[in-house]
Structure 1
């Protein structure tokens, strides 16, 4: 049965992302395989890091003299970060948010790899979640660098996976819901073409901020 003009626009917009016809039967929107793999592996990596952080936090609460395994030196020190108010931004340990959030992301990735499709409202919810996550991560980056002045290695793993999760989920959702023609469509196409440059530049900016902030300390390690 032929699609209506609106359905044809939806199919064309989503084909731009997935390289295949979607939405599927029932109105579900598919995802490209690379996004499905990223959601699964990125979510799993973040879940492991958040779980370790939660275990370390519980150990520190039980024994104030406990030294977390990721406390390596004065700068790379989970312990210095865990005892700050920023580590409990909402009144409970931040890793709890990571465990719940990354468990959801991992599950979504696994479902997509198995061939699942989701409706637009679900993608909007996932987009809201990864956006909140990346904003929170960048607040934590700023707090770690300029207020706490210490870095938590496991937290940095969470930072590293949250950025591409946000970038590629956003790229998928905007492409699925923005018409391929017009200024918005051309902007999305440009982002798709240079997504690797955007991700690399993003990582380099964070790395540069870390390098500059602790430049004196890094120099002492080299001398």
Structure 2
């Protein structure tokens, strides 16, 4: 007598929907945590901007040395590109990102046009954050710790949103390309690239300012 065949073969079960759901949740958790950190940093920078407007000679708590100086960055023209402190933009944008992340964690599915618009808007914010970093690094010659936190959190929010949009195929990619990109996401390629990028940024900062920092 042949042995009774098992009712199912666990290795043949398709757990992809569960994996995708878990990956989406993780992405929104990262997005929520990052946007909260960015909101705190924007609040601190906004308060410092008001203090500097009242007294240009005020000494800020993060004025550590010539390399790490929030005051030097805040008093440069790049800190108020639109005529008011850039930090005010964070106070406007981050609550929107927090709402998006919380709603998505609660099961809300936003329409494709909204997610595409969010990606485009945050791409602009991503580019603006790195333009400010480049200005601080190459032109102003000083770095602001709170600004660096905004740069890092903007990066993680942008990549988290991009991850979700790729998994949901919000961009309307061809099936073959979509499956290839999802395969890279499942392998964690995006996380690896993000870690390498942050390591390179940290190395660049240490190499340029090592004489002052150590």
Coarse TM-score class (shorter-chain normalised): 0.7 to 0.9
Residue 167 of structure 1 aligns with which residue? 159
Distance 1:168 1:16 in 2: 18
The answer to whether the aligner puts 1:67 opposite 2:67 as a matched pair is no
Give the counterpart of 1:198 among 155, 175, 193: 193
With the length of structure 1 as denominator, give the TM-score of the two structures. Answer: 0.81
Tell me the alpha carbon deviations over residues 188-211 of structure 1, each in whole angstroms, 9 at most, x when there is no partner.
422442122111111012112212
Residue 149 of structure 2 aligns with which residue? 157
- Could you tell me which runs of 5 or more consecutive residues in structure 1 were left unpaired when the two chains were aligned: 1-13, 21-30
Deviates more, 1:78-87 or 1:156-165: 156-165
Tell me the alpha carbon deviations over residues 47-84 of structure 1, each in whole angstroms, 9 at most, x when there is no partner.
01101100010011011111122111211100000000
Residue 50 of structure 1 aligns with which residue? 42
Give the counterpart of 1:144 among 131, 136, 156: 136
Q: 1:15 to 1:120 in 2, by over 3 A?
A: farther
With the length of structure 2 as denominator, give the TM-score of the two structures. Answer: 0.84
- Could you tell me which runs of 5 or more consecutive residues in structure 2 were left unpaired when the two chains were aligned: 1-15
C-alpha contact (below 8 Å) 1:56/1:68 kept by paired residues: yes
Distance 1:204 1:65 in 2: 35
Q: In angstroms, what is the RMSD of aligned CA positions?
A: 2.1
C-alpha contact (below 8 Å) 2:27/2:163 kept by paired residues: no
C-alpha contact (below 8 Å) 1:17/1:176 kept by paired residues: no
Distance 1:87 1:192 in 2: 39
C-alpha contact (below 8 Å) 2:51/2:58 kept by paired residues: yes
Distance 2:117 2:24 in 1: 18
Residue 24 of structure 1 aligns with which residue? none
C-alpha contact (below 8 Å) 2:36/2:94 kept by paired residues: yes
Distance 1:80 1:109 in 2: 34
The answer to whether the aligner puts 1:214 opposite 2:206 as a matched pair is no
C-alpha contact (below 8 Å) 2:41/2:147 kept by paired residues: yes
Distance 1:156 1:116 in 2: 31
The answer to whether the aligner puts 1:182 opposite 2:189 as a matched pair is no
Tell me the SS of whatever aligns to 2:82: coil
Pairwise CA distance, 1:92: 1.3
Tell me the SS of whatever aligns to 1:214: helix
Matches within 5 A, 1:68-83: 68-83=60-75
Give the counterpart of 1:40 among 8, 32, 37: 32
Tell me the SS of whatever aligns to 2:168: helix
Paired residues in the alignment total 196
Distance 2:195 2:53 in 1: 37
Pairwise CA distance, 1:164: 1.2
Q: 1:17 to 1:58 in 2, by over 3 A?
A: farther
